[in-house]
Structure formats: structure tokens, C-alpha cells
């Protein structure tokens, strides 16, 4: 029997298409549909379509459930690792060194120039609405916002973000979103994050760099 594939669209061996995954990861990061459309260079209708399809496929009721959905795309480096344990491990996963500090600024271009030209910090890379500087082994992340904020977000590096997420949840930590991929570098290294708050509501996050195993 001939294989019927509507409109000639390619098949995917994953629960979501690549476009749907991009929209889902952005939603899990807390972005609105207009923000996703601007950052990904697609129409607002396209974003709405992908988010709606993802919710339908996953059987979720809305964005709040989607932010806490802990699915991992099939082609991710994390998918190739051993799955996290069903119950939190008896020994806590150690939080690594401070990997990143984030600040919200009202004028990203002016602030980026000031940090680079006045303070002399090394600009690692910049994207629309975002700029990253080197602070030794720590990154400074500047994010465009409607107004500047004196509140900084602390990001802790961990080796296994899914295991750390489950263990901290088991100790009562309230996460804002599930671990999600922020960016995939040209060499295949993936940047993952999961946000939470401390006992006084201050923002914090886990960060993980997932690298593909080196083939020998």
C-alpha cells in the first residue's frame, strides 16, 4: 500500500515536529507568543498554530501545564543519556559553580556598549534582546526588558539537570518551569535551564551544558 503523507510533509520520529519543539521550548522559557514570533522570525499565527498543535498532541490544557512538562526532544543529547531515576537519589546532586548572572536592562544596545567599551568586558555573543559577556568562568547575561531591574538571577551549573531538578523538587523546591533547551551551538552542545525560587522568592536557575559523546 502506498504511504500517504498529507501535503508531502516529512515524517518525524518524535512526538512533536521541529517547529513545534522550538515553540514549546520558548513557552517553557516563559516567552509570550509575540516574543516567540520576533525571536524566531516567524508570524504570530505560525506560533499560535505550533503551540496549539503541541498542546493537542501532548494532551495538556494550556501554557501553565506546558511550562512544567518535562519532555525531551528525541534528537537531544539528553535523550541519549540514561533516564532520570523515578525517585530522588538519596545523595543530593551537587550544585556546581555559579555559571551565569542575569540582569534585565531597559536599553540593551547602550548597556552592551557600556559593558564592552567602558568596563572592557569580553562580549561572547549577542542575539536579539540578549547579550552575553565573559566574567572569568561565569557569564553575564543582559536581557532586554521594559524597564531595568536591580534584581539579578543566579544560575548554578549542574552535570545532570534532569536529576538535579527531580532531587530539588523532592526536597520541596518550587520550579517555575521544567528543564528545557535554550540553544544548540554549531558543535552540537546544548544549553539547558530550569528556573526556581528560593525560600524568599528570589529567582534562581539550574544550568547544564549537554555535549554529544566524542566518537573514537
Into which CATH architecture does domain 6-69 fall?
Orthogonal Bundle (1.10)
Residue 45: CA count within 13 A, CB half-sphere: 0
**Every domain of the chain and the residues it spans:** 6-69, 98-210
Residue 211 backbone phi and psi in degrees, to 5: -110, 140
Q: Which of these, 102, 195, 182, 115, lies nearest to 141 by C-alpha position? A: 102
Q: How far apart are CA 152 and CA 105, in angstroms?
A: 11
Tell whether the model's pLDDT for residue 1 goes beyond 50: no
Fold of the CATH domain 98-210:
2,3-Dihydroxybiphenyl 1,2-Dioxygenase; domain 1 (3.10.180)
Tell whether the model's pLDDT for residue 84 goes beyond 80: no
Q: How far apart are CA 196 and CA 167, in angstroms?
A: 13
For the chain, give the longest Cα–Cα distance. 68
Model confidence band, residue 81 (pLDDT cutoffs 50, 70, 90)? low
Model confidence band, residue 2 (pLDDT cutoffs 50, 70, 90)? very low
Place of cell 540593551: 108
pLDDT for residue 93: 61
Q: What is the pLDDT of residues 18-64, one digit of tens each?
A: 999 999 999 999 889 999 999 899 999 999 999 999 999 999 999 99
Amino acid at each position: 500500500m502506498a504511504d500517504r503523507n498529507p501535503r508531502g510533509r516529512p515524517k518525524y520520529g518524535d512526538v512533536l515536529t521541529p517547529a513545534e519543539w522550538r515553540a514549546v521550548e520558548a513557552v517553557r522559557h516563559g516567552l509570550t507568543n509575540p516574543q516567540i514570533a520576533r525571536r524566531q522570525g516567524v508570524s504570530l499565527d505560525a506560533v499560535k498554530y505550533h503551540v496549539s498543535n503541541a498542546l493537542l498532541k501532548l494532551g495538556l490544557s494550556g501554557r501553565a501545564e506546558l511550562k512544567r512538562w518535562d519532555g525531551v526532544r528525541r534528537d537531544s543529547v539528553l535523550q541519549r543519556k540514561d533516564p532520570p531515576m523515578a525517585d530522588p537519589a538519596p545523595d543530593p546532586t551537587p550544585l556546581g559553580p555559579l555559571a551565569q548572572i542575569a540582569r534585565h536592562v531597559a536599553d540593551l544596545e547602550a548597556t552592551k556598549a557600556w559593558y564592552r567599551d567602558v568596563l572592557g568586558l569580553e562580549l561572547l555573543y549577542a542575539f536579539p534582546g540578549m547579550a552575553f559577556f565573559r566574567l572569568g568562568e561565569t557569564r553575564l547575561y543582559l536581557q532586554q526588558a521594559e524597564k531595568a531591574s536591580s534584581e539579578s538571577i543566579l544560575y548554578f551549573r549542574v552535570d545532570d539537570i534532569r536529576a538535579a531538578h527531580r532531587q530539588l523538587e523532592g526536597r520541596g523546591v518550587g520550579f517555575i518551569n521544567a528543564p528545557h533547551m535554550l540553544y544548540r551551538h554549531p558543535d552540537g552542545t546544548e544549553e539547558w535551564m530550569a528556573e526556581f525560587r528560593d525560600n524568599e522568592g528570589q529567582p534562581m536557575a539550574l544550568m547544564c551544558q549537554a555535549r554529544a559523546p566524542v566518537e573514537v
